[in-house]
Amino acid sequence: MRIEVDRDRCEGHAMCEAVAPDFFSVDDEGELTVKAEEVPEPDKAAVRAAVLSCPVTALKFSSR
């Protein structure tokens, strides 16, 4: 499972970072960095919660 970001939608709210800081980081300009695109099994619940927390639905999972 991978994390995908729609950079055109992302507004830098940093909700994902608040929920899963090991996977997401938002800088002072609101630019999102995905620290690890591949999600290990033990972290899937936290990352899924982070994806769902995005107020503009800029994040999603992919099975690629």
Range of the domain at 48: 2-62
Question: Are the C-beta atoms of 23 and 50 separated by less than 8 Å?
Answer: yes
Q: What are the φ/ψ torsions at residue 54 (nearest 5 degrees)?
A: -65, 120
DSSP of the chain, one letter per residue? -EEEE-TTT-----HHHHH-TTTEEE-TT--EEES-SB--GGGHHHHHHHHHH-TT--EEEE--
Please compute the mean of the pLDDT values over residues 36-51 and round it to a whole number: 92
Q: What is the pLDDT of residues 3-39, one digit of tens each?
A: 999 999 999 999 999 999 999 999 999 999 999 878 9
- Confidence (pTM): 0.89
Q: How many domains does the chain have?
A: 1
pLDDT band at 64 (very low <50, low <70, confident <90, very high): low
The CA distance from 1 to 13, in Å, is 23
Confidence class of residue 61 from pLDDT cuts 50, 70 and 90?
confident
CATH code of the domain covering residue 36: 3.30.70.20
